[in-house]
Structure 1
Amino acid sequence: MNGILESTLKTLQKSEHLLSNLDDATLSNVSVSPYYSSIGSHLRHILDFYDCILNPDEHNKIDLTARKRNKDVETCCEQASSYLNHIMAALKQRGTDLERQVMVIDDLGMGTIEMPYTYAALFAQANSHTIHHYAIINYILDRLGIIFNDSVFGYNPTTPRASSLN
């Protein structure tokens, strides 16, 4: 398997660990300011991003603005785990032709645009995007008083750590 996909699966395994330590009430809790988003909404968003990548249209275009947004994934650990397992299984079955070109549709703030990507670049973006949302989830966990025993959860591998700054 390709290193990009291996990294992606390793990153997504953190979602498995997270979900195994949450209940539905915590998954869907929207009490943390300033955005009042839930852990579940961030997990659903992450998985929807991968679902888009894994399901290009008949013209080999991937529309990142056309996500599923299944609210059950945001509120039910079992539904979130099932969606995660589906995404991870599809990634494991994915071919290694990551240099293949694909057109990506996204809205960067001024309406939708189409951009040429390789699958490698898109999966690398998805992995960084996942880590970014893990950082937000980690913030929510902290505000809810929940300790999640993963010292690198939400940290990009290139982020300097306090111990490396001494």
Structure 2
Amino acid sequence: MKTLCYANNDVLDQLALLIELTRPVYRETAEGAQASIGQHVRHILDHYRAVKTGIEENCIDYNRRHRNSPVEHCPESALETINELKHWLSTGAFTNNDIAVISEICLNTTQSERLHSNLSRELLYLINHSIHHMAYSSVLAKQLNINLPAHIGLAPGTRTHLRHQSEELTHA
């Protein structure tokens, strides 16, 4: 469980870097995009907050969103939320209890499903979900003429693959 918490802290560090580097365009929507980088950041942080609240209530509701919140428009607010979440992950005494998860499932009607999960699974989901949105945010940043480090938004497995490729080239 601690490893998943450390990994999530690393993801939140990367998200903070993304925010810092995209400050000039944080609220802008790139041509052809439906959301700004700030909206993607808010969406990521909504999921973290859903897990945090869900642990307290024994039910994670991913439908709870904070659309148009300060996090979406203000990098400082997003960074403050990240620091709060990192503190929570670092100091929490988590156990891998079973937990219910609620999420919308239909594209054409409002319909949610309640599923059984556990905290480890949901912490893993936060990592993958966050990286996916950071990858998309990297594309948006590039469209808005902000070049980000290549590692932002790369999945752990992809980074491992690239490290192995680099090691093979070094030893060749």
TM range (shorter): 0.7 to 0.9
Give the structure with higher Rg (CA): 2
Question: How large is the RMSD of aligned CA atoms in angstroms?
Answer: 2.3
Deviation digits for residues 48-88 of structure 1, max 9, x if unmatched?
10001001277511111012334321111111111111111
Cα-to-partner distance string for 1:62-117 (whole Å, 9 max, x where unaligned) = 111012334321111111111111111111122131x2100000112261011111
Measured in 2, the distance between the counterparts of 1:15 and 1:41 equals: 13
Once the two structures are overlaid, the 10-residue window that deviates more, 101-110 or 118-127, is: 101-110
The alpha-carbon deviation at position 32 of structure 1 amounts to 2.9
1:28 deviates by 0.4
**1:44 correspondence with 2:42:** yes
Aligned mate of 1:109, from 106, 111, 127:
106
Cα distance 1:57–1:4, how it changes in 2: closer, same or farther (>3 A)?
closer
In structure 2, relative to structure 1, the CA distance for the partners of 1:85 and 1:32 (3 Å cut) is farther
The TM-score normalised by the length of structure 1 is: 0.87
Report SS of the residue matched to 1:141: helix
Q: Aligned pair in 2 of structure 1 residues 123, 57: CA closer, same or farther (>3 Å)?
A: closer
The residue identity in structure 2 corresponding to 1:94 is G
Kindly indicate whether the alpha-carbon contact (under 8 Å) linking 2:46 and 2:64 is maintained by their aligned counterparts in 1.
no
The structure richer in helix per residue is: 2
Structure 2 unaligned residues grouped into runs of 5+: none
Tell me how far apart the structure 2 counterparts of residues 68 and 94 of structure 1 sit (CA, whole Å).
23
AA partner of residue 102 (structure 1): I
Whole-angstrom CA distance in 1 between matches of 2:22 and 2:57 = 39
Cα distance, 1:105–1:39 mapped onto 2, change above 3 Å: same
Q: Which amino acid letter does the alignment assign opposite residue 152 of structure 1?
A: H
Give ranges in structure 1 of 5+ residues lacking alignment.
none
How far the C-alpha of 1:128 sits from its partner, in A, is 0.2
Counterpart CA distance in 2 for 1:81 and 1:135 is 18
Match of 1:144 in 2: 144
Identity %: 24
Pairwise CA distance, 1:132: 0.3
Question: Aligned ranges for residues 3-152 of structure 1 at < 5 Å?
Answer: 3-23=3-23, 25-33=24-32, 35-56=33-54, 59-97=57-95, 99-109=96-106, 111-149=111-149, 151-152=150-151
- The residue matched to 2:28 in structure 1 has which SS? coil
Aligned mates of 1:65, 1:100 — CA distance in 2: 21
